[in-house]
Amino acid sequence: MSIFGTDGVRGEANTAPMSPDLILKLAQASAYHFMQKMPHEWIHGDHRFTIVIGKDTRLSGYMVEAALMAGFVSMGVDVILLGPLPTPAVAMLTRSLRANLGVMISASHNPYQDNGIKFFDGDGCKITQADEKRIEQFVVSNEVPLAPAARVGKAKRLDDAAGRYIEFAKATFPRGERLDGLKIVIDCAHGAAYKVAPKVLWELGADVISIGVEPNGLNINLDSGATSLAALQQKVLETKADLGIALDGDADRLMMVDENGAILDGDQLMALIATVWLANGSLKGEGVVSTVMSNLGFERYLEDKGLVLHRANVGDRAVLELMKEKGCNVGGEQSGHIILSDYATTGDGLIAALQILSLIQKSKVKASEISSTFTAVPQILKNIRISQMIDLSSEPVHQAIMNAEQELGSAGRLLVRASGTEPLIRIMAQGDDKTLLLKVIHNVAEAIRDHGCLAA
């Protein structure tokens, strides 16, 4: 039984694996696994094994939170409920509170119908695949011993959770600097950062215009946030703002637009941060870690700077692992997950935005003057919805992929992969010849179509 995907557990709410009965079992299995893994570390005087739980603003979050809480306390575990907070805030508070485990209830950029669960260890890092497999085994075996009545855990809410994260985020902004005089539009996607992100910018001195801050449980990511920038672009132009910031539903993603509405994606933002940090001596590892999805233009730009682009598999866990291996402190994804390991253990859209805002304030130039650090090569992504899983190594799909790679040669890159969160095959091609890119994508898509696994 496979419960975990690329980024924790995810699926349609109230349907397996995001059904209450399975969530409860998952909570019990994960608590049991980690209590076994650290048998001498989870009782210190009055302190018992403790798990913090945060969530975004989805309607189903109430159901998932209740099922998790029930499962955890039934194992003799104490629970601290954080309420709606960004994913990176949950990772930070897991460390800050010296909790044994952190849990974020979110399906990130997905629509409200979906929900998910992300687990963090005591250091605020995503748990390992080995941990996930062991938890799955306990769920399947259904042989997790519950706590006796006298040892059932307790749950409480942390009233100042948001305030703690706000102060943490502000502390990452260079000491003595302010955002006075800067007009910023921020789109919180009606998600987890709808309260904290505008407050951070306001308290640092900015003139803040907030959109996407009226969650109703059903509108998270709806025509807003980092995956839908039209509303942000319109508001920036309408209000003559200096720039716009877009977060996704759980605020671990960042996209920005300049005063003209031009988009800065994750590659451009990482390039900007790396350039500044290289100049001031803060960049570590002589490069940046990104993924197989990052633009070839980004890689060429770093090469011109004498830096290396290390490519990891898709997913911020894979990025962080490679960052540790290479000793880098800047990493992320084109989609806007940006990890600055000097400050955070996971993608944090707000903290990454603060680094860009600091650059703009110091340089005293318009966002458009720094928004195109490199020239991106044409990059085309085609998503194919499938009705059943496909083996990409099978004929004739594998042959079509090989033929496409040969046609692109050294002037381009091709990536064909199954989505870890949706029933999709993603085909991405990039290079200098857009016509050739369209041709190879079409050929690979036709091979998949001929394989007979497309959704109706």
Residue 406 lies in a domain: yes
Asked if 117 and 103 count as a contact pair (C-beta separation under 8 A), the reply is: yes
Q: Which of 30, 74, 108, 210 is catalytic?
A: 108
Give the total number of structural domains in the chain.
3
Question: Does 388 have pLDDT greater than 80?
Answer: no
- Mean pLDDT confidence for 2-26: 94
* Count of other CB atoms within 10 angstroms of residue 390: 17
Q: Looking at 321, 352, 370, which one is the last position of a domain?
A: 370
Query: Does residue 292 share a domain with residue 397?
Result: no
What does the pLDDT average to over 267-280?
95
pLDDT in tens, 239-264: 999 999 999 999 999 999 999 999 99
Q: Which of 159, 204, 243 is nearest to 351 (CA)?
A: 204
Q: What is the mean pLDDT of residues 256-274?
A: 96
Q: What is the pLDDT of residue 455?
A: 53
Tell me, yes or no, whether 101 and 189 share the same domain.
no
In a domain, residue 200? The reply is yes
Higher pLDDT, 209 or 314: 209
Same domain, 51 and 125: yes
Which DSSP string do the residues of 34-62 spell out, in sequence order?
HHHHSTTTS-BTTB--EEEEEE-S-TTHH
Supply the pLDDT for residue 44: 54
pLDDT above 90 for 391: no
Looking at beta carbons, which pairs linking 91-94 to residues 24 or more positions away fall under 8 Å? Answer: 91/120, 91/124, 91/125, 91/344, 91/345, 91/346, 92/124, 92/165, 92/168, 92/344, 92/345, 93/52, 93/54, 93/158, 93/161, 93/164, 93/165, 94/52, 94/120, 94/121, 94/122, 94/124
**pLDDT at residue 40, rounded to an integer:** 57
Judge if 190 and 327 occupy the same domain.
Answer: yes
**Is residue 455 in some structural domain?**
no
% residues pLDDT > 70 (the chain): 96
Q: Are residues 414 and 306 in the same domain?
A: no
Q: Is 2 a catalytic residue?
A: no
Q: Which of 102, 124, 159 is the last residue of a domain?
A: 159
Residues 117 and 220 in one domain: no
Burial code (b: 16+ CB inside 10 Å, e: under 16) for 401-440 equals beebbebbeeebbbbbbebebeebbbbbbbbebeebbeeb
Q: Are residues 386 and 361 in the same domain?
A: no
| CA nearest to 387, candidates 422, 427, 421, 426 | 422
Give the end of a domain, one of 334, 349, 370: 370
Decide: 107 and 115 in contact? Cβ < 8 Å.
yes
Residue 267's Cβ-count burial label (10 Å; 0-12, 13-18, 19+) is: buried
* pLDDT attached to residue 450: 76
Give the per-residue pLDDT at 385: 87
Q: Name the residue with higher pLDDT: 45 or 55.
A: 55
What secondary structure letter does DSSP report for 411? G
Residue range(s) defining the domain that contains residue 386: 379-450
Q: Assign residue 141 the CATH number of its domain.
A: 3.40.120.10
Q: How far apart are CA 293 and CA 383, in angstroms?
A: 14
So what's the pLDDT on residue 187?
Answer: 98
- Angle at the Cα of 406 (from 400 to 408), degrees rounded to 5? 105
345 and 387 in one domain? no
Which range has the worst mean pLDDT, 36-40, 193-197, 348-352, 425-429?
36-40
Whole-angstrom CA distances from 94 to 99, 152, 195, 213, 305 are: 5, 21, 20, 25, 37
Specify if 46 maps to a domain.
Answer: yes
Q: What CATH number corresponds to the domain at position 388?
A: 3.30.310.50
Local confidence band at 349 (pLDDT 50, 70, 90 cut-offs): very high
On the 0-12 / 13-18 / 19+ scale of CB atoms within 10 A, 52 is buried
State the pLDDT confidence band at 409, using cuts at 50, 70 and 90: confident
The stretch 171-184 carries a mean pLDDT of 96
DSSP state of 14: T
Task: Check pLDDT > 60 for residue 456.
Answer: no
At residue 424, the pLDDT reads: 85
pLDDT at 454: 54
- Asked whether residue 389 is assigned to any structural domain, the reply reads yes
**pLDDT given for residue 423 in this prediction:** 80
Q: What is the mean pLDDT of the chain?
A: 93
- Both 192 and 114 in one domain: the answer is no
Q: What is the DSSP string of 200-220?
A: HHHHTT-EEEEES----SS-T
- How far is residue 106's CA from residue 248's CA, in Å, rounded to a whole number? 11
Which pLDDT does position 387 carry in this prediction?
Answer: 74
Same domain, 328 and 439: no
Contact in structure between 237 and 262 (CB atoms under 8 Å): no
Q: Is 456 a domain residue?
A: no
E strands, 56-141, where? 78-84, 101-105, 114-121
pLDDT over 90 percentage in the chain: 82
* pLDDT value, residue 39: 64
Residue 395 has pLDDT above 80, yes or no: no
- Segment 138-176, tens digit of pLDDT: 999 988 999 999 999 999 999 999 999 999 999 999 999
Pair 249, 392 in one domain: no
Q: Are residues 275 and 227 part of one domain?
A: yes
The predicted model gives 104-125 an average pLDDT of 96
Say if 426 falls within a structural domain: yes
Q: Report yes or no on 177 lying in a domain.
A: yes
For position 256, what pLDDT does the model report?
Answer: 98
